[in-house]
Structure 1
Amino acid sequence: LNMSRQLATFARRMGDFEQLIIAIATNDFKRVNVLLRTAIKNGASINTITAQIIEAAQGIRSTKGFTKFEHDLSLLIYRIGGHSLLYSLNHALGLPSLRTINNAANFVKITPTFGPISAAEICANIQNVILKPRTLAGKTGKHGIVIMMDECAVEERCDYFPSANKIGGLCQKHSGGIPLTLQTYKSAMTIVNALHEGTVHFAKEMLVVAVRFGNEENIYPILVAPTCKMETAEDTVALYEMIISAWDDVARETCGVIRNFATDGDPNRRRAGYLLFCQEELPTSHPLYEILSNLKGLNLCTGKDLILQTIDWRHEIKRDSQLLGNCTLVRQPSGMTVDGRIINPFFLGETLNLLPDQDEKSVHRLLNPNDAQNVPTALGLVDAIIQLHDLKPPSSNVELATTLDSTRLLGYLFENFSHPFITPEASLSDQIQMLSTYAHLAFVLFREFRTDFMSNQLYGDTQTTAKNIVFSVAKQQLLDPNVKVNANEDGTDPVESHFGFMRMAGSHNSAMSYKQGVERNGWACDIQGVYSRWPQLHQESRRRRITRTSHKDHLNTSKWIADLLAGRCDLIDCWCLGEAEAIRILKLFSKLSPEKYDFHAILATSGVDFLRPWGNNIYPGLAADPDRSV
């Protein structure tokens, strides 16, 4: 009898489950998973769940509650596709509506700049963009802070900001004496007359200053200012000091100290960096001095709190708005003088043709690219020159055989500067050793051949990059040796990614006014926040993948396979190994006499280091002569 009852109960339950499956299969119902999750949580029976599914399909019952993923997905759809697309998907798939995400999300809003830049707006953005969101997310740890700066183009026109009742889009440098608040018709005419007289200008670009925490991928804009590109180095120094002061007042105690300022090689920012961040020698009492003082040739001058400036290494290899890299120098008719030999397109064209994987057409593309700013092409030329290491010239070409050593020397120079940033198999120790080799080689060649070898500005920029990376490793070893440090992360690439998100938010339309730029900066923060929480949603740019060498300019730490822990890098040992490698290369491929690369004797002279190759506190990077790498 009991067995019969159990079988009947089992058969009835099986029938209930079949009815549930049929109800799910035959009803076109959005978000059935939410209904099931809620019903199970409330202890509902199978029959009750089946009835609720049927009611939901008939529109009698609506499901409530959304997951964090659904909120973020709706936010992403709204920022990239707009309100209309979100409305359609809300009704088609049951995703959260705009009203729902407005109630649940904290949208990033940037405080715009009206008139000259002020500390108040920087502090307001630090509070709204960094402190509040990170506190809500539970990110309260201290980090080494990197301040990144770059510009993007904006349409030259004014905008009205209703919330402030002010006019925006006028250059911040010259709009200080003009009332930007629209109180009367006369206020508007004052602005119009100033524009006609040329005392104020429409902004040509939008300056974005952003904060990055350690090796985090996200950045946080703290200043979005319109600029006419007429600022001086002294203006930039004042801006740097204002940013440092605002950060120290608002965020230093909770977020950490500023480690460096990263730029793209802009001449004014370069000069400001020398003026502000090479003021004083590292104190002998500082814990870093014990290590860094043993790295002979390393410039030990820093700014307040050991803040340094760094230049994006990508801009030292490719042509950018202000700076051309090494590849452009060898493409010029004047070329680069290495060991007394002028290496220019004519010589390289003959030499590179001898490589097995090159022909006349491919060499012509490398030496005469359609886009001089194309990084993959620049890296392709670098790789081709590096391959000349192992080239055996025809025995009949005696002249080529005698001059090939200069090209090999150039190849080693390029290899030791580029490979630390684009080789995922390079450990942190390998990176420091290669940068040390580059610093020693460039020091010798620049002292000997001066600007015939490399422009003053480019030499200073590359040595500044190497110096900053060494300092960053040493600082991290003191702060926390179990944290990764990657030379590849040095620079402003995250800001360029941020600009990409801004274009995504504008339907991939790069044209925008200043007002739209301010809005899109906040939208870009929302987009990058969603992608950081749900990386599977982000379709990585093809140029950022590492399946081909042409994408190596956009690697990041997540793609690295070698050991990058700061505590496992012996800076003194790596620096000395780099010096030894430089001496080996110079002995093999240079005609210079040994005293030219007697580093012990040369660097024993007071005030001589890699940033000041002739001492007397003279920095080539501050030279006013034309930069022929531009």
Structure 2
Amino acid sequence: MTENNRLKLKGLNDAQKIAHTLTRLDEYWSLVMAMWENDVPRVQYILSVALKKGSSVQQILTTLEDAITGTYHPRGYSGDDLDLATLVYRLGGRQLMYALNHHLGLLSLHTLQAHSIFTSITPTIGSISPDQFDANINTLIITPHTNAVIPLQGHSIMMDEIALDERASHYRPANCVIGLCHSHSNLIDPMLHTYDSALRIATKLNEGEVHLGKEMSVMGIRAFGDDNLFPILAAPTCKTENIVTMMAILSMARDRWRATGAEAHFSPIFCFATDGDSTRRGAGHCLFVKTELPMTSKLYGTLSCMPGLNLATGDDEITLDFDYKHIFKHYGVLTRYLIWLPGQDKFSIMKLLNPDDPQDVPRAVELMQSIIALSKIETNPLLDGVAVCADMSAIKILGIMLESLLLPFIDISLSLQQQIELISCYCHLTFALFHMHHSAFMPHILFYDTQSMCKNICFCVAKQQKLDG
């Protein structure tokens, strides 16, 4: 009870005190009912601010009453509020954000834009061209870092697809239609000159000569040691590109990095990275695994001393890389032995081997760690049987192999030399097993991807040492 209330009650008799208390209780109950009926936005934030200010009970109640009537709107947002608003905007767009702002007190788009950095990439209209790469490299990478001190770091070009609504849209800045596949957009004029322009585009779509993009091909550039990814291409695709077309796209990205002056201002491209897409794998192999590293290369003295290392590269010594998360998702093992591990049962093992989300990388890492732990369990031929011991011998080899691959990515206490030693162990062990058993040991594609990834690690370490000793 506040001091003012105590003073008010001091001169009252018992009946008056009871009446006063009942009046206050009635006010409190009315406030509770009003909050229940009106669903006051951000009540928790209102109470948090009031308590931090040391407000009295009466002041808090008054603030809540003002919030119910709409005369008070809380200001200030936490990092979680910004993250939630960004998610809503990305998934539902302006309309959903507007609705939740007015109903739940979520940030408005204007507030979100004031507190966040939005990357605006030039969309691909028609066929992929050098101008699109130049515009995005200059706008998103060179211009924002004109006066920045740039460390000497190699860069990686990465490419993948993201989900896309299959629909055509009007792009107001250029007054044209976007959302059409880049492979066949050269067959139409995307500009909306007249009403007939829209009819011609619709006709081509109906006849199947031009397609709506099924996915968005996205290409980005990232510096080693930096978490920022800079997009340089966003092109709707109908997934009909062949290896020759993909080679042209990858070559264009590589060439524009140098032509725009980005290589001189930042650092060269070390590698091209992708997932398991067969077209990009084929194009990457043709471009970046074609020329033996010459003896005149600065890298030759280091890399030629690594027995078994494939020294084939592309122009400018660019190498092919594969996303380690894509590789981690491809490993599996027998269910009957994983149940030996502490804390595992049939349900948890089935979740490991058959996840709800095939892209669940943490689950893949957990599975690999489980196999490694399983491989360290000792067996006894007299107690467990010869068949079990034979299986466990194979699992022990698999455990050593997976541990050599996984530890360099998750154990930050390892030195660079220890990381490379483990990677080398993985490469030699898998090569020996694949040479003996071929696809019965590992699918050909997985063998190619993992060997390429490990080779690229060795090349990139050597390149970075030469770039900045």
TM-score, normalised with respect to structure 2: 0.74
Cα offset, 1:421, TM superposition = 1.0
Aligned to 1:398: 386
Aligned to 1:298: 309
Aligned to 2:240: 230
| Partner of residue 137 from structure 2, selected from 126, 136, 159 | 126
SS at match of 2:140: helix
Equivalent-residue separation in structure 2 for 1:105 and 1:372 (angstroms): 31
**AA matched with 1:462:** T
Note if contact 1:108-1:128 (Cα within 8 Å) is conserved in structure 2: no
Aligned to 2:365: 379
Aligned to 1:443: 431
Equivalent-residue separation in structure 1 for 2:282 and 2:411 (angstroms): 31
Aligned to 1:284: 295
Higher relative contact order (CA 8 A, sep 6+): 1
SS at match of 2:273: strand
Cα offset, 1:429, TM superposition = 1.6
**AA matched with 2:252:** M
SS at match of 2:226: coil
**AA matched with 1:160:** H
Note if contact 1:146-1:259 (Cα within 8 Å) is conserved in structure 2: yes
> For the structure 1 residues 200 and 447, does the alpha-carbon distance in structure 2 shift closer, same or farther, using more than 3 Å as the test?
same
Cα offset, 1:78, TM superposition = 8.2
Equivalent-residue separation in structure 2 for 1:388 and 1:115 (angstroms): 53
> Superposed, which structure 2 residues align to 1:590-609 within 5 Å?
none
Cα offset, 1:247, TM superposition = 1.0
> For the structure 1 residues 122 and 75, does the alpha-carbon distance in structure 2 shift closer, same or farther, using more than 3 Å as the test?
farther
**AA matched with 1:183:** H
SS at match of 1:160: strand
Matched, 1:365 2:351: yes
Equivalent-residue separation in structure 1 for 2:169 and 2:109 (angstroms): 30
Count of residues paired in the alignment:
382
Matched, 1:168 2:156: no
- Superimposed CA distance per residue, residues 98-138 of structure 1 (whole angstroms, 9 cap, x where no aligned partner): 59988x999643211111100011101111111111125x2
Equivalent-residue separation in structure 2 for 1:304 and 1:283 (angstroms): 12
Note if contact 1:141-1:254 (Cα within 8 Å) is conserved in structure 2: no
SS at match of 1:358: coil
Aligned to 1:201: 211
SS at match of 1:222: strand
Q: Determine what percentage of the aligned residue pairs are the same residue.
A: 40
Cα offset, 1:229, TM superposition = 1.2
Matched, 1:213 2:223: yes
Equivalent-residue separation in structure 2 for 1:370 and 1:185 (angstroms): 47
Note if contact 1:112-1:224 (Cα within 8 Å) is conserved in structure 2: yes
**Cα RMSD for the two superposed structures:** 3.2
SS at match of 1:163: helix
Equivalent-residue separation in structure 2 for 1:260 and 1:401 (angstroms): 43
Cα offset, 1:232, TM superposition = 1.1
Cα offset, 1:398, TM superposition = 2.8
Note if contact 2:310-2:455 (Cα within 8 Å) is conserved in structure 1: yes
Cα offset, 1:79, TM superposition = 5.7
Aligned to 1:561: none
Matched, 1:415 2:403: yes
Cα offset, 1:227, TM superposition = 0.7
> For the structure 1 residues 114 and 360, does the alpha-carbon distance in structure 2 shift closer, same or farther, using more than 3 Å as the test?
closer
Equivalent-residue separation in structure 2 for 1:188 and 1:326 (angstroms): 49
- Superimposed CA distance per residue, residues 206-240 of structure 1 (whole angstroms, 9 cap, x where no aligned partner): 11111112311111111111111111111110001
**AA matched with 1:274:** H
Note if contact 1:206-1:227 (Cα within 8 Å) is conserved in structure 2: yes
TM-score, normalised with respect to structure 1: 0.56
Note if contact 2:152-2:467 (Cα within 8 Å) is conserved in structure 1: no
Equivalent-residue separation in structure 2 for 1:410 and 1:105 (angstroms): 46
- Superimposed CA distance per residue, residues 354-398 of structure 1 (whole angstroms, 9 cap, x where no aligned partner): 334434443343334444443233223222221233323352323
**AA matched with 1:365:** K
Aligned to 1:310: 321
Cα offset, 1:96, TM superposition = 13
Unaligned residue ranges in structure 2 (runs of 5+): 1-75
Matched, 1:432 2:420: yes
SS at match of 1:148: strand
Equivalent-residue separation in structure 2 for 1:423 and 1:235 (angstroms): 39
SS at match of 1:123: helix
- Superimposed CA distance per residue, residues 139-186 of structure 1 (whole angstroms, 9 cap, x where no aligned partner): 445431211111111110000012101100000001112111111222
Aligned to 1:190: 200
> For the structure 1 residues 371 and 380, does the alpha-carbon distance in structure 2 shift closer, same or farther, using more than 3 Å as the test?
same
| Partner of residue 255 from structure 1, selected from 266, 272, 288 | 266
